């Protein structure tokens, strides 16, 4: 996926297009949606990372912009929590 930056400081525990390590904030994300939702701001400039642990952004309807959850490996997911995280844990073991 094109949104992943190379990071010289970290070796990804996983490879593949579901895994995204952010070379800017050094957090790990699973899934392109999760990655996208931690990048906020204007595409024309001023893009920035959001720390999921501190993300309190809400839409104009008052619902959270992102529903973050973190798996046992510390990787961030967005949306419904599901058993797929267990699969990813096995894959990286
Ligand atoms: Zn980031
Ligand atoms: Zn990194």
**pLDDT of 83 above 70:** no
Å from CA of 5 to ligand 1 middle: 9
Residue 34 burial (10 A CB sphere; 0-12, 13-18, 19+): buried
Q: Which ligand is nearest to the CA of 7?
A: 2
Per the CB < 8 A criterion, the answer to whether 33 and 79 are in contact is: yes
Å from CA of 28 to ligand 1 middle: 8
- Supply the range of the domain harboring residue 22: 4-91
How far does the chain reach from its first CA to its final CA, in angstroms? Answer: 23
Q: Which ligand is nearest to the CA of 9?
A: 2
Per the CB < 8 A criterion, the answer to whether 31 and 60 are in contact is: no
The model's pLDDT over 35-77, given as tens digits with 9 standing for 90+, comes to 899 999 987 888 999 999 999 999 999 999 999 999 888 889 9
The model's pLDDT over 15-30, given as tens digits with 9 standing for 90+, comes to 566 678 888 899 999 8
Q: How many domains does the chain have?
A: 1
Q: Which ligand is nearest to the CA of 47?
A: 1
CA nearest to 20, candidates 30, 8, 9: 30
Helices (H), the chain: 32-38, 84-92
Q: Which ligand is nearest to the CA of 35?
A: 1
Q: pTM of this prediction?
A: 0.74
């Amino acid at each position: 996926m094109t949104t992943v930056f190379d990071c010289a400081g970290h070796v990804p525990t996983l490879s593949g297009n579901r895994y995204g390590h952010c070379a800017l904030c050094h957090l790990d994300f699973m899934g392109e949606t999760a990655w996208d939702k931690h990048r906020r701001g204007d595409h024309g400039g001023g893009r920035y990372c959001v720390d999921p642990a501190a993300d309190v952004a809400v839409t104009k309807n008052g619902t959270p912009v992102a529903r973050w959850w973190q798996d046992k490996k510390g990787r961030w997911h967005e949306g419904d929590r599901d058993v797929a995280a267990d699969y990813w844990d096995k894959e990286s073991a």
